[in-house]
Chain A
Amino acid sequence: MARKLPMYKAIAEAIAQEMERDENVFVMGEDIGAYGGIFGATNGLLEKFGPERVRDTPISESAFIGAALGAASKGMRPIVELMFVDFFGVAMDQIYNHIAKAHYMSGGQVRMPIVITTAIGGGYSDAAQHSQCLYGLFAHVPGLKIVIPSNSYDAKGLMISSIRDDNPVMYFFHKGLMGLGWMPSPDEAAVEVPEEPYTVPIGEAKVVREGDDVTIATVSRMVYEALWAAEELEKDGISAEVIDLRTLVPLDKETLVNSVRKTGRLLVVDEDYMSYGMSGEIIATVVERIGNELRALPRRIAYPDIPVPYSRVLERFVLPDKEKIVKTVKDMVG
């Protein structure tokens, strides 16, 4: 049976069901026990599974994320939460030099079925050290799968896929999509979620709105800004197709290219930093394949290459949003 769930509950439900199915699955992280995760992603797990399998850790990301490697090497399937992605710095060596490379460097002897969950996104004045997305940075490193759900259905299915995957998966959830009491979330992010376990494959994008004039490719909270923009553009007779990429690694190039082939125009919207990131990668991917079929130069709206400012007026000015998308698409089509 399906019922509407906020994203945080969908994620927690997915983890609980996998913990029931497979005793090798366990969770570690800061405040993931009694608190249930600062963003609710481990809500209720401690009560169900106890402190051995739901382990509150000290503030020692390097130690407990590195420990996920050791546990995985012994056949466990750890889920570790890095509270805000902004905190990755202290643990990065374990993530990018070890967890990401162990399978390759060991000639396939070692598997790393680890899920690293982490919160991303700004828009609420938490400033430069608590508002970044940074998925592009991790997508740059070979050996990590990159999952970024935008609604509760995908969140549950992608979490189950991530846990069952034999590779390290970075699972990014946007604070502004989780459906928390204290953080506004678009109503559309809380959709119907089946009670039984199911999977959403890693590496499949989704066309969330069909259109003919322009393809808007994006992820996470920007999916909604794109959808709201598409509604507005429709009033002006412009038909926008919106693609939720859902995973950056592996990237569903086929869905992307097919869409742009149909519309002839590509706009990438990204809440991560502009340069050397997702927006450039998506545009290059399309141009390399069907650059000669485009009707307009590809465009991108990304977070400019500046730290996230605190003051509301400054942050709103720089965050990608519906208005910026509408304006850019009109430029492209007009």
Chain B
Amino acid sequence: MGVEEIPKETLLEIYRTMHKIRTYEETLAKWYYEGKSPRFDISAGPIPGELHLSSGQESAAVGVCVHLKDEDAVMGTHRAHHFAIAKGVDLKKMTAEIFGKATGLSGGKGGHMHLFDAAKNFSCSGIVGASFPQAVGVGIAAKLKGEDYVAVAVGGDGAANQGTFHEALNLAALWKLPVIFLIEDNGWAISVPKDKSTAVAKNSERAKAYGIPGVSVDGADVIAVYEVAKEAVERARRGEGPSLIEVRTYRLRGHFEGDPQLYRPKEDFELAKEKDPLANFRKLLLEKGIATEEELARIEEENEREVREAIDFALNSLYPEPEEALKGVFAGGE
């Protein structure tokens, strides 16, 4: 299957979402440094706390989520904005959440690492490796309810060394659950390179141990991710069980904003630029004559406007009432 066999509108949708993610992340980064100069203080400014951006990794999110429906679940990591956007989470509410506003997805209680959108079946977590067993549960629910939704558990290459990854793979394989284990391999667990943390070269090889399909795909090529994910999602929907996909990506930014990245060799930054899936895909669309410069420019303008509106919405929203902090620990009352 090649790019020629994918409908143009799908291809443009993929480009639109990837570009939206990139525009959003780079805009957010600018706002993150507001109020944090001249002295960098992680708690200052309109976006306090840690911020983990996904620039360079868009293809993993878009290549997979383009096959998903609202009913399908995506369980992301601490670096999850790209998956949230690709899954259709409301950009305004998500931004307001990141700015700590009352209009945010969780009224300011969750923040950047804990985005929840139940309507879109999207969640994420600040705990490495937490998504895998949780996705198994979604798979169990699908089976018990006789539905055809699937769950995508996202983890980094670092997360694949947690016990949860192996336990969840075994369970999902044993029970033939509709789960896609998606390892987003950017080569770094904060400062520890993959070859210093992982005993196998490709995490997809670990699928063999559990008797399920495992594929490794180049994240620089969003169409390659699209194809691999399509097969895995269809397989899951047909009731044939889980798959493991490793998407090899590069981080264009640090582990978190403010990360000096002294541990990272120069070549890795260069590769990150070379393997930029957005730039590559844009070039491909133009070279193949699938889209014109004007069409892409229009999409880009629309994205920029949408991102601007989301930021404005967040900035113009009110902070929650302080007393709200004490409410909502339990369901069914305060």
- What residues make up the interface of A, taking CB atoms closer than 8 Å to B? 30-31, 33-35, 38, 56-63, 86-87, 89-90, 123-130, 181-184, 304-307, 309-318
Contacts and interface: CB of A to CB of B under 8 A. Distances in A.
Interface of B: 40-43, 48-50, 97, 100-101, 104, 106-114, 125-129, 158-159, 161-164, 189-192, 196-198, 258, 262-263, 319-320, 322-326, 329
Given A34-B191, A124-B49, A311-B104, 4 more contacts: A89-B127, A183-B42, A310-B110, A311-B100
Main secondary structure of the interface of A (DSSP, over half): loop
Most buried by B among A35, A56, A304, A310: A310
20 contacts: A31-B189, A34-B191, A34-B192, A58-B158, A87-B127, A87-B128, A90-B127, A125-B111, A126-B49, A127-B113, A127-B126, A130-B49, A305-B329, A306-B329, A310-B97, A310-B111, A310-B114, A312-B43, A313-B320, A318-B325
A274 to B, nearest CB: 12
Contacts of B108: 309-311, 313-314
Contacts of A129: 113-114, 125-127
A87 B189 CA distance: 15
Contacts of A309: 108-109, 325
Nearest to B190: A31
A125 B325 contact: no
A314 B125 contact: no
A130 B126 contact: yes
Contacts, number: 152
Given A60-B163, A129-B125, A309-B108, A182 B40 contact: yes
Contact of B319 (A124, A305, A311): A311
**Prevailing SS type, chain B contact patch:** loop
Contacts of A123: 43
A59 B49 contact: no
Nearest to B100: A311
Contacts of B191: 31, 33-35, 56
A89 B109 CA distance: 22
Contacts of B163: 60, 62-63, 90
Contact of A60 (B42, B111, B161, B325): B161
Given A310-B111, A311-B108, A312-B48, A59 B189 contact: yes
Which 9 pairs of residues, A with B, have the shortest CB-CB distance? A310-B111, A311-B108, A311-B100, A125-B48, A317-B322, A124-B43, A125-B49, A129-B126, A58-B161
Contacts of B42: 124, 182-183
B261 to A, nearest CB: 10
Contacts of B192: 30-31, 33-34, 56-58
A314 B325 contact: yes
Contacts of B110: 127-128, 310
A325 to B, nearest CB: 18
Interface centre among A35, A86, A89, A316 (most CB of B within 10 A): A35
Nearest to B196: A56
B113 A314 contact: no
Contacts of B161: 58-60, 63
Contacts of A183: 41-43
A128 B126 CA distance: 9
A130 B49 CA distance: 10
A183 B159 CA distance: 26
